[in-house]
Amino acid sequence: MLAKRIIPCLDIRDGQTVKGINFENVVDVGDPVELGARYAREGADELVYLDITATHEGRKLFADLVRRIARHLNIPFTVGGGIDRLADADLLLSAGADKVSVNSSAVKDPDLINRIAGGFGTQFLVVAIDAQWKNNRWTVFVNGGRIPTEKELFSWAKEAQERGAGEILFTSMNHDGTRNGFACEALRELSTQLSIPVIASGGAGKKSHFASVFQEGRADAALAASIFHYNEIPIPDLKQYLRKQHIIVR
């Protein structure tokens, strides 16, 4: 069995790390390079950097920020936000990112998944999905959770896998920032239907939530932001706790 991964997520806006609740009420929480370096020292397995306004405002992630991050990290990191062309992925991977993440752009142009996977390999591509449970349906949203689409979580995740996604990063908008636990039922269904790794996002508030998402949700990795940004749950303590729950971590 592969070891479960702990992944701090750093949402980036205007070059700073920010955090919100249910995708709103955003506040600054620190420098993305310094925070990333700290997480690497503390034992994070990977990092995810997401430019949360790049798609909405039509901007691209700045390659120089990625280069600065790469110089200070010795663990893999994924970068997403505003990637809508093969050239964008090439630029960010060349700048030092280990993987790229696509979200809104892939919903609008699903063949983008095929092009990036075909150009660089499935192992370099994460497809992020923001979805909200409403009216007995997980509806996929785009543009940083601002705009609902016709797509449904499970069918879109399966299509993304078939097109070449190497991983699925699922964020439950209902759970995001609430600290009430992950969307374990939906994650379990995703993990059952897919053959690629599933990263859980949205809702981490205490150590037991991570145990639940791995045991009940069957997620391959768990991503969180606030509890790590504010050092509420140190990563070494979290991993020690998970080992006591007989969960294999790195």
Q: What is the C-alpha separation between 68 and 217, in angstroms, rounded? A: 35
Pure H helices in the chain: 32-42, 54-57, 63-72, 86-95, 104-108, 111-120, 153-163, 184-193, 207-215, 226-229, 235-244
> What pLDDT was estimated at residue 228?
92
User: Is 130 part of the annotated catalytic residue set?
Assistant: yes
Looking at every residue in the chain, the average pLDDT score rounds to: 92
Question: Residue 117 maps to which CATH number?
Answer: 3.20.20.70
Residue 98 annotated in active site: no
In a domain, residue 250? The reply is no
- What is the tens place of the pLDDT at every residue in 70-98? 999 999 999 998 899 999 899 999 999 99
Residue 179 domain-assigned?
A: yes
Query: Which residue of the set 11, 45, 84, 176 is catalytic?
Result: 11
* 148: in domain: yes
As a dihedral over the C-alpha atoms of residue 247, residue 248, residue 249, residue 250, rounded to 10 degrees, the angle is: 170
- Residue pair 60/54 in contact by the 8 Å Cβ criterion: yes
The structure tokens 């140190």 sit at 234
Could you give the number of structural domains in the chain? 1
The model's pLDDT over 108-154, given as tens digits with 9 standing for 90+, comes to 999 999 999 999 999 999 999 999 999 999 999 998 888 999 999 99
Range of the domain at 131: 5-244
Selected catalytic residue, list 51, 130, 176, 220 = 130
Residue 249 lies in a domain: no
Report CA 128 to chain centroid distance, whole Å.
6
